């Protein structure tokens, strides 16, 4: 049994992600178009395509919050369960001003594919509140989280729908959610969310899992291309929970991290950045930002310069729709590993594929987070906790096995990895629907 109190983790401020939104295309329309494509290729039953083209359940809630100055603000909140065909619904909760029903629905469907492609016994869900969390105090965030939790509680449950952190939420947010449910139900229901602090039924290795998974698949793709880790240059957009851990892990594997960015700007050194020093800098910043970081040889760059930096691997680890029709031609990397959800538009996908750029898609590349969420849930349900080495070994085997399945399928079918991953995922979900039958 390994439980190490880690209060610091729960109390660490969220690394706020507020990248200015690019002109937005509807993510749900993109997810639907992709589903249509793969359904044709798989020759799927039209009834199953119809089922997968709508979410099973969508809840829109109003979240009134008494602000610190006594005024009442009302925020829009959502929880969408796209599919429970393969098991309880699973997916994060995000706090961001751009949250709307189409975004949440699209991200819920991506969770369905993600859990299926890496073989977790879950369906897909997502939630969010339309709010700029940088404008809220900790007490306001606590009240917002607790009221939102109560509002969506009728559709949650350890065997129904299990939320987790996502953009601008963290272990502290999950602690508030678990506490709220436990208080109103009059018993401990910590297994209702994952990504919790370690002393509250969280799992060792969960906070780092998404970034570690990204590093594992990056290592796999480099190996397939006979690339030496030490001569590989990497650019990472985003230095929050995912980007910073991916940077740290890849740096530890011997890669040269030459560019990273967060909302404070981009930092570039063609000879390699001092990643430990940058992690240290961000850890000391009140919002965990790189703001104010400088070192000899480090140049300030903007977001577009980061995306077009002369590197071998580009890792978008911030928000969706960063690589688009208007900038995909500028990408110099030969490999893209999608740490964020939906960072590449369909238009960009085509341009990248034509240019022979290998793209490891989000539903595979960033599945390490939900994979260790699954391990957390299993540990909570059995009330028996594992060593971190055990967690990391299992994460490693889930990621490498899933990578191999997608890579091999893409080779055999002669399709890009995203198409291969979505085809494998949709096929598994379709199988579950077919076997269960349509109730009644």
Residue number with CB closer to ligand GLU (219 or 342): 342
CB of 310 to ligand GLU, least distance (A): 30
Task: Give bridge partners of residue 171 from the DSSP assignment.
Answer: none
Q: Which of 168, 194, 249, 345 binds ligand GLU (CB under 6 A)?
A: 194
Q: Which residue's CB is nearer to ligand GLU, number 122 or number 239? A: 122
341 is a contact residue toward ligand GLU (CB under 6 A): yes
Q: Compute the distance between CA of residue 222 and CA of residue 407 in angstroms, rounded to an integer.
A: 12
Neighbours of 358 (CB within 10 A): 19
Are the C-beta atoms of 103 and 28 separated by less than 8 Å? Answer: yes
H/E run at residue 336: strand 335-337
- Interface mask toward ligand GLU for 83-122; x: CB under 6 A: -------xxx---------------------x--------
**Pure H helices in 310-387:** 346-354, 362-365, 368-382
Nearest position to ligand GLU, beta carbon: 92
Q: Does 170 bind ligand GLU (CB under 6 A)?
A: no
What CA–CA distance (Å, rounded) separates 109 from 91?
10
Q: Indicate the residue among 301 and 365 with the shorter CB distance to ligand GLU.
A: 365
Minimum gap (Å) between residue 236 Cβ and ligand GLU: 17
Distance separating the N- and C-terminal Cα atoms of the chain:
44
Contact yes or no for 168/129 (Cβ under 8 A): no
274 by DSSP, 3-state: which?
A: coil
CB of 20 to ligand GLU, least distance (A): 21
CB 101 within 8 A of CB 127: no
Asked if 321 is part of the footprint of ligand GLU (rule: CB under 6 A), the reply reads no
Closest CA to 177 of 204, 199, 208, 144: 144
Q: How far is the CB of 296 from ligand GLU (least distance, A)?
A: 37
Check residue 240 for interaction with ligand GLU (CB under 6 A): no
Q: From the candidates 24, 90, 114, 126, which is the catalytic residue?
A: 126
Smallest distance, ligand GLU to C-beta of residue 177, A: 12
Binding to ligand GLU by CB under 6 A, coded x per residue (else -) over 350-389, reads ----------------x--xx--x----------------
Determine how many CB atoms are found less than 10 A away from the CB of residue 296: 6
Q: Is 323 exposed, middle or buried (0-12, 13-18, 19+ CB in 10 A)?
A: buried
Minimum CB–partner distance for residue 242 and ligand GLU (Å): 9
Q: What distance in Å separates the CA atoms of residue 222 and residue 135, rounded to the nearest whole number?
A: 41
**Residue 233 appears among annotated catalytic residues:** no
User: Cβ closer to ligand GLU: 162 or 278?
Assistant: 162
Identity of the residue, 266 or 368, whose beta carbon is nearer to ligand GLU in the bound complex: 368
- Using CB under 6 A as the binding rule, whether residue 256 contacts ligand GLU is answered as no
- Which residues carry out catalysis? 126
Binding interface with ligand GLU (CB under 6 A): 90-92, 114, 164, 166, 194-195, 341, 366, 369-370, 373
């Amino acid at each position: 049994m390994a439980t190490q109190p880690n209060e610091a983790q729960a109390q660490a401020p969220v690394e706020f992600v507020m990248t200015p939104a690019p002109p937005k295309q509807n993510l749900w329309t993109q997810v639907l178009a992709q589903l249509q494509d793969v359904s044709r290729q798989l020759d799927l039953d039209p009834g199953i395509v119809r089922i997968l083209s709508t979410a099973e359940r969508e809840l829109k809630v109003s979240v009134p919050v008494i602000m610190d100055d006594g005024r009442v603000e009302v925020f829009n909140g959502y929880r969408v369960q796209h599919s429970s065909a393969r098991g309880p619904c699973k997916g994060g909760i995000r706090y961001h001003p751009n949250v709307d029903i189409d975004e949440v629905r699209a991200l819920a469907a991506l969770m369905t594919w993600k859990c299926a492609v890496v073989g977790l016994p879950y369906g897909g869900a997502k939630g969010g509140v339309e709010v700029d969390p940088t404008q809220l105090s900790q007490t306001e965030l606590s009240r917002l989280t607790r009221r939102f939790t109560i509002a969506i509680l009728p559709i949650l449950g350890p065997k129904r729908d299990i939320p987790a952190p996502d953009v601008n939420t963290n272990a502290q947010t999950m602690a508030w959610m678990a506490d709220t449910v436990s208080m109103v139900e009059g018993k401990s229901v910590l297994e209702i969310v994952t990504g919790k602090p370690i002393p509250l039924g969280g799992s060792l290795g969960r906070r780092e899992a998404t970034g570690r998974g990204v590093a594992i698949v990056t290592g796999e793709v480099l190996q397939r291309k006979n690339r030496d880790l030490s001569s590989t240059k990497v650019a990472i957009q985003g230095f929050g929970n995912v980007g910073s851990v991916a940077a740290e892990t890849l740096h530890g594997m011997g890669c040269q991290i030459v560019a990273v960015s967060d909302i404070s700007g981009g930092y570039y050194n063609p000879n390699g950045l001092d990643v430990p020093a940058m992690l240290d800098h961000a850890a000391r910043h009140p919002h965990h930002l790189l703001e104010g970081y400088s070192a000899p040889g480090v140049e300030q760059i903007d977001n577009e310069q980061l995306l077009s930096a002369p590197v071998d691997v580009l890792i978008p680890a911030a928000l969706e729709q960063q690589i688009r029709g208007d900038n995909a031609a500028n990408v110099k990397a030969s490999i893209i590993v999608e740490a964020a959800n939906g960072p590449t538009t369909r238009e960009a996908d085509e341009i990248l594929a034509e240019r022979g750029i290998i793209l490891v898609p989000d539903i595979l590349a960033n599945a390490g987070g939900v994979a260790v969420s699954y391990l957390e849930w299993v540990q909570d349900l059995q009330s028996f906790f594992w060593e971190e080495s055990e967690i990391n070994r299992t994460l490693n085997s889930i990621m490498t096995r899933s990578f191999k399945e997608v890579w091999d399928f893409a080779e055999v079918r002669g399709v890009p990895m995203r198409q291969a991953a979505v085809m494998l995922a949709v096929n598994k979900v379709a199988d579950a629907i077919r076997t269960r039958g349509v109730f009644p």
